[in-house]
Structure 1
């Protein structure tokens, strides 16, 4: 047999998954920067920016087109670091928990793996997110990472970089758990009920098509689940309130779920789809199968 450049469940395999996560997450988040700028400003200044169109028009009039790309460096490095941990460690923990759990409970494996990976991913993301949100919502704060990092450290110390870690974990861990589980189940469903063929019998284009459909479904569901915590993160980083409880009270329970939800779903769905597409493209180039666990034996079903 011809040896593949990357064998599954080896150090090189996890390394490739980590690099794939860095490149896919970093690139897609940079591409979505204009939408993210609108979302953050609508969250932080809901009275002034009450709709997507009003926010876009006001920013263009007051700050010019460059305002839509504020914070792109924080997004590339921050979400690149998060993506590397999220995808690379998910693959690692999935194998670990699969070996540990005798009953092979799929959902439990997906939830534990994604939650464990996301905890590390958010520690890596948090300092970059602190700068990014301030740069996007406070034009006078800084231009980017190079001047934002020393300014934040001088004014708030290390604590300033991790002020939003708890709500960030509250946003991203549930999102990641739902996203990975929905992706895994969507891949299995699509091969079982739509494609009706084994993955290895499909072309690379068909495999990536399944990845994109499953990725969009996973991102859309995850964005709704994590929207309340996303609003809290934006408010905390911009000092709209001094604590988590006060922030929730100020925003209001209903607004936690509805504020900026349409633009967040518009942002997250395509972003997660592109991440999975680029990530699986990198895996294919490394001679690996695309992501997602296909549990059903299609040939066995047909024989029966």
Structure 2
């Protein structure tokens, strides 16, 4: 075949209006705040296992019982306010940002064949850039949440905790965790979106176009749930080391100095095994978070009549 006779497949990129991106933001905000809010008790136990020596050898259930016995059931809801607000703005920014940047990178590819060839790089890039901007909104609220969880009695809630950090340490302390949060959240987003996309592709490539079009609601739900659970496991493993370091930074552990220096010292002190303390509970939590987010996100988008995102999977069987 000559170069002149080679044809590339036409590229169709949907046009998203500002209202569409508003729908993506709202759906992402609601799915993130609902799931993270519901997971607050698990996250409290996970965070305490990471930073409290008395809980270092506990699992999720035994750690929860220990906290309740010492501090009462309400301790498991510590940090609910900043969790709900923080992940509302972060979830909206992340999901809308992923849709925006995936569309931009697909357009940059120029044709369908190139977009499909480099689809993994497109997923990685869109997840990373979208998450970066979302984390600018999340960081001060995450710092407040971790301070409330890790220091019993630090403040009575979101506003008082936020204002105390601002008063005592200023913007510097509110954003002390920005670099480690990027190290945590960008791998998390990469696992969440990229693995979810690839799992859907594996499922759909085994079907003909006709079979896929006739999928029952139960079949669609099963694929979405299974893909979300696997993506959640991947997100947890990829982001666990930085999650541990972020908890320690916000607790005030480690030496003074530039953040990367502090992270390096803390990583050496913690050791490889220590960086993955609490991974089991976090995998359970993250699988529920990610799968729940995708299910809720899709349901809210459908309810609002929002379009589907750009799809660049390989062709289904028989196409």
TM-score, scaled to structure 1: 0.90
User: CA, structure 1 residues 194+64, in 2 after alignment: closer, same or farther (shift >3 Å)?
Assistant: farther
Alpha-carbon contact 2:233-2:287 (below 8 Å) kept: yes
Instruction: Name 2:295's counterpart in structure 1.
Output: 277
- Assess if the C-alpha contact under 8 Å between 2:103 and 2:310 holds in 1: no
Q: Residue 69 of structure 1 is aligned with which of 53, 67, 77?
A: 77
Q: Is the 8 A contact 1:85 1:121 kept in 2?
A: yes
Cα deviations by residue, 1:175-211 (Å, 9 ceiling, x for unpaired) = 2122211111111111222797554433444333322
- 1:3 paired residue number: none
Note if contact 1:187-1:294 (Cα within 8 Å) is conserved in structure 2.
Answer: no
> Residues 75-154 of structure 1 correspond to what in structure 2 (within 5 A)?
75-102=83-110, 103-104=114-115, 105-154=118-167
The answer to whether the 8 A contact 1:43-1:260 is kept is yes
Unaligned runs of 5+ in 1: 1-6
Tell me how far apart the structure 1 counterparts of residues 208 and 79 of structure 2 sit (CA, whole Å): 41
For the pair 1:46 / 2:64, whether they are aligned, the reply is: no
Q: Distance in 2 between matches of 1:151 and 1:172?
A: 25
**Match in the other structure for 1:230:** 243
Tell me the SS of whatever aligns to 1:50.
Answer: coil
Deviation of 1:72 (Å):
0.6
Q: 2:222 aligns with which of 206, 209, 218?
A: 209
Could you tell which deviates more after superposition, 38-47 or 16-25? 38-47
Count of paired positions: 294
Task: Provide TM-score, normalisation by structure 2.
Answer: 0.86
Q: 1:48 to 1:185 in 2, by over 3 A?
A: closer
Q: Secondary structure at the match of 2:53?
A: coil
Off by >6 Å, runs of 4+ in structure 1: none
Contact 2:209 2:318 in 1 (8 A): no
- The equivalent of 1:252 in structure 2 is 271
Q: Which residue does 2:8 correspond to in 1?
A: none
C-alpha contact 1:83 1:121 (8 A) present in aligned 2? yes
Question: Whose Rg is larger?
Answer: 2
Q: Does 1:302 align with 2:307?
A: no
Structure 1 CA distance for aligned equivalents of residues 152 and 15 of structure 2: 46
From 166, 169, 172, the counterpart of 2:182:
169
Q: For the residues of structure 2 that align with 1:169 and 1:84, how far apart are their CA atoms?
A: 17
Deviation of 1:38 (Å): 0.2
| 1:11 counterpart residue number | 18
Cα distance change of structure 1 residues 214 and 48 upon mapping to structure 2, 3 Å threshold = closer
CA distance in 1, matches of 2:254, 2:201: 44
Kindly report the root-mean-square deviation, in angstroms, between the aligned alpha carbons of the 2 structures.
2.0
What is the deviation of 1:13?
A: 1.3
Q: Secondary structure of 1:224's partner?
A: helix
